[in-house]
Structure 1
Amino acid sequence: MTLTGKWAATGAAQRLAPLVEQLLGGELPVRVRMWDGSETGAADGPLVHVRSRRALRRLLWAPGELGLAEAYISGDVDIEGDLADGLRAMRHAVRERGLRPPRPGAGDRLRAVGTALRMGAVGPRPPVPAARAGLHGVLHSKARDRAAISHHYDLSNAFYALLLDETMAYSCGYWTSDAPGYGPADAQRDKLELICRKLALRPGSRLLDIGCGWGSLTLYAARRHGVRVTAVTLAREQAAYVRQRVAEQHLEDLVEVRCCDYRDIGRAPGHEGGYDAVSTVEMGEHVGDAQYPAFAGTLHGMLRPRGRALVQQMSRGRGAPGGGAFIESYIAPDMHMRPLGETVGLLEGAGLEVRDVDGLREHYVLTVDAWRRTLEERRAEFVALVGEETVRVWRLYLAGGALAFEERRMGVDQILAVRPDETGSAGMPLSRAGWYTGAAEVPAARYGETAGAIG
């Protein structure tokens, strides 16, 4: 339904609508209210409030996703009501009406400038929001990777402690129940236990946790399973936090925390390899496309024969391997994702044998929604910690992220691989039952292994 009557009165909205509809190839899928109070578009659609002419200037200077995102981050544009519901409704309307993403040509740009001139919206480029990453140097050099990781993960330990549950796990949970009282912390603990079972961790096992985050898996494996863990992170804030937690839980004899690049892991004495297990939970997205074969080689090289590797990693089609302009500019610069099958191929190319792939896409919808609810419910506290602009970045990030997993534009998987020994033996059980039911693993008897042994 298109707005009529009082909404059809001449104003900024009516001057802008013909241009936007021409670019989209159809009627506006949303209701737009301009700074002068005029409205246009779908009366039953989400309300997009354009609060100032500066929003149009942002779109002139950066047409498309990035300009829209920066208009929202700066407060020049707002979406009324629940942001995730608004984004979902807009995407649904676009699909239903067969609209196309705007790809303005030279003529379209001239018409846009002419419209903006008549509306008094032409001027110098508005300031870039301070939350935008500004990286320099060679792509995926150690210095640039350190800066990229710091931009996202060193935001503030206090911020992440407020956003996450008590496990401090900043990755997809594993939701095993819909019973009342079951929440994100339970889902994270279930995920950590699932990883430990897939890796067949036992007291005395040696685990290398690459990209350990705030230590959720490191601490869980050491405390619950008696595992000796080398925890590696490139983020200084994370390393300091994990060391503090290790001391508080008296796990110094089991856990070593290293703040270093994954490429330097094997250079320190005692870290040349021979680990029973290697885990990397949502860290591989930061490695880079050209660098991933060497990363997979590191996983292989750090394992002893018949040792296992657990890679939990997000996937995406080739259309937006970095997640899109907004994600690349404000959340995870230099991130690279690929289709799941290509990652499996890269791991196999490094000499690992992939034995299990567990799709968790729906689990990430639940996980991100839990983080988003916390952000919305405690918004004032977040603003006091990091400021309104950063909170708006995260509102957009979490709302858009949940929708991307919901609509299968992104996925996440646990990939279990093993380094076979020289005879081809993988030492894997014949059944997955022990991973999910708590039963002891039943190994392949013809190889003469002891049940559950990993040494």
Structure 2
Amino acid sequence: MTGPGAVRTDVAGQVAALALRVIGGELPIRLRAWDGSEAGPADGPVLVVRDRTALRRLLWHPNELGVAQAYVAGEIEVEGDLTDALRRVRRRFPARADSRVRIRAGDVLRAAVVAVRLGIVGARPAPPAGEARLTGPEHSRERDLAVVSHHYDLSNRFYALILDPTMAYSCAYWRGLGPGYTLADAQRDKLALICRKLGLRRGMRLLDVGCGWGSLTMHAALHHGVRVTAVTLSEQQRAHVARRIGNWGLGDLVDVHLRDYRDLRGGPYDAIASVEMGEHVGAERYGDFATRLHGLLRPAGRLLVQQMSRSCGSPGGGRFIQTYIAADMHMRPVGETVDLLERAGFEVRDVQAMREHYVRTARAWLATIEQRWAEVVDLVGEPTARVWRLYLAGGALAFEHRRMGVDQILAVRPAADGSSGLPLDRAALDLSRPDPCRW
């Protein structure tokens, strides 16, 4: 309604009728349009379409990217639980490789008529702020640097706001479920688990590839007396780790470098860790990445890879994550990663699936964003804050529904005589008690 006596356009009703033909069923959540009309189920979350531009975006991008752009731009809002809304929509639209809605030829004209009637036909809307702007060949050095900078150089203050005190930006290991067991506890338990699997002891040399903000680097040096070489492509991460080294007086144990994995040197190392960095290497280069790590590790040395994966029939991250969060990211089924490591000369000794742990981790980060929403918006602006809210809510569901997973893979470089240096008892690799932490 635009005033007394105006004709009600019933935008929501027209969209719902079109959806009934296109998707073969009712809307999965209630819809409220800019004219005040509503349609769809009465219970649960409500999708509020504030501006017809949101529907125009869907004409140009009839997939998750179009919806995400409208949400980031503030053209649509969700009243109620965002996770519940996404779960209902995903249940109605199972994941597919290209995430596009399939429109039958007979419905194209009908959709065009509705689009003209609602005034949503027009030029492609400009994308909202926050999309990655990349040039050059995929996984060239320059482009990889730009990808890392887009995501990880957002703001150290922002990451400090949403992460635990260790600044661990990877899947935690939830050994407890009680109210007194926090994200910080789960992240410390994850770090202790990695160190236990690597068999770290005082005086050993550890290479931390893609060290992030130094959570594993600092833990290994502080609690195991290990000499650590940490590498990252993010200038803000490198600066943060360097400050922590100075604050803790660890200059004799830790070195941090701004370095591409293709330039790694200084082996042989006793142990190597790569925690959620391998997703950024790319499909064609992962074999070379694994071979390089093999060459840097001493015989009978251990490699711990913690890495996100996808199920065989799933696209993995999807268009939204590729566009706004982790451009050029490549995930494969865990079995393919195991095969690539074996081809590089490693012997894979243990694989631990941690998919459910990432559900809890992502939701813990999301809860912090919701609790500190005003601070987040002040730091990075509302469009970026909305990107992260959508990313974490949707990401948690991707792990919950097994479209994505995360695994810890323990491998060794066998010695010339075939010995691995690993204990015969697998239980020796498991976490018993977390190390006492001094953060």
TM-score interval (norm. to shorter): over 0.9
Asked whether the 8 Å contact 2:324–2:387 carries over to 1, the reply is yes
Asked whether the 8 Å contact 2:309–2:316 carries over to 1, the reply is no
TM-score for both structures, normalised by structure 1: 0.90
Greater shift in the superposed pair: 318-327 or 357-366: 318-327
Identify which of structures 1 and 2 has the higher relative contact order when contacts are C-alpha pairs closer than 8 Å and 6+ apart: 2
Deviation at 1:111, TM superposition (A): 3.1
**Per the alignment, do residues 102 and 45 of structure 1 end up closer, same or farther by CA in structure 2, a change over 3 Å counting?**
farther
Q: Hey, what does 2:30 align to over in structure 1?
A: 31
Asked whether the 8 Å contact 1:207–1:276 carries over to 2, the reply is yes
Deviations 1:305-333 (A, max 9, x none): 00000000010035554511101000000
Match of residue 409, structure 1, among 403, 410, 413: 403
5 Å matches for 1:35-434? 35-92=34-91, 102-104=101-103, 107-266=106-265, 271=266, 273-321=267-315, 323-434=317-428
Asked whether the 8 Å contact 2:196–2:431 carries over to 1, the reply is no
Distance 2:184 2:136 in 1: 39
Deviation at 1:46, TM superposition (A): 2.6
Distance 2:304 2:261 in 1: 16
Deviations 1:80-138 (A, max 9, x none): 1121122123334557xxxx962125554443232111111122221111101111100
Deviation at 1:22, TM superposition (A): 1.5
Deviations 1:202-259 (A, max 9, x none): 0000000000000000000001100000001011110010001111000000001010
Q: Hey, what does 1:448 align to over in structure 2?
A: none
Deviation at 1:438, TM superposition (A): 4.3
Distance 1:383 1:410 in 2: 28
Asked whether the 8 Å contact 1:322–1:334 carries over to 2, the reply is no
Distance 1:367 1:130 in 2: 26
One-letter amino acid matched to 1:377: Q
Deviation at 1:77, TM superposition (A): 0.9
Deviations 1:382-420 (A, max 9, x none): 000000000000000000011111111111000000000
Greater shift in the superposed pair: 285-294 or 10-19: 10-19
Distance 1:229 1:110 in 2: 63
Deviations 1:255-292 (A, max 9, x none): 010101100112xxxx1x21000000000000000000
SS at match of 1:257: strand
Greater shift in the superposed pair: 241-250 or 44-53: 44-53
Asked whether the 8 Å contact 1:29–1:94 carries over to 2, the reply is no
Deviating runs (4+, > 4 A) in structure 1? 318-322
TM-score for both structures, normalised by structure 2: 0.93
One-letter amino acid matched to 2:236: E
SS at match of 1:240: helix
One-letter amino acid matched to 2:138: L
Asked whether the 8 Å contact 2:153–2:235 carries over to 1, the reply is yes
Q: How many residue pairs end up in the alignment?
A: 422
Q: Hey, what does 2:5 align to over in structure 1?
A: none
Asked whether the 8 Å contact 1:197–1:435 carries over to 2, the reply is yes
One-letter amino acid matched to 1:148: V
Greater shift in the superposed pair: 78-87 or 216-225: 78-87
Asked whether the 8 Å contact 1:365–1:405 carries over to 2, the reply is yes
SS at match of 2:161: helix
Asked whether the 8 Å contact 1:347–1:354 carries over to 2, the reply is yes
Greater shift in the superposed pair: 364-373 or 106-115: 106-115
Q: Which runs of 5+ in 2 are unaligned?
A: 1-7, 434-439
Distance 1:337 1:383 in 2: 30
Alignment of 1:435 onto 2:434: no
Distance 1:319 1:391 in 2: 31
Q: Which runs of 5+ in 1 are unaligned?
A: 1-8, 440-455
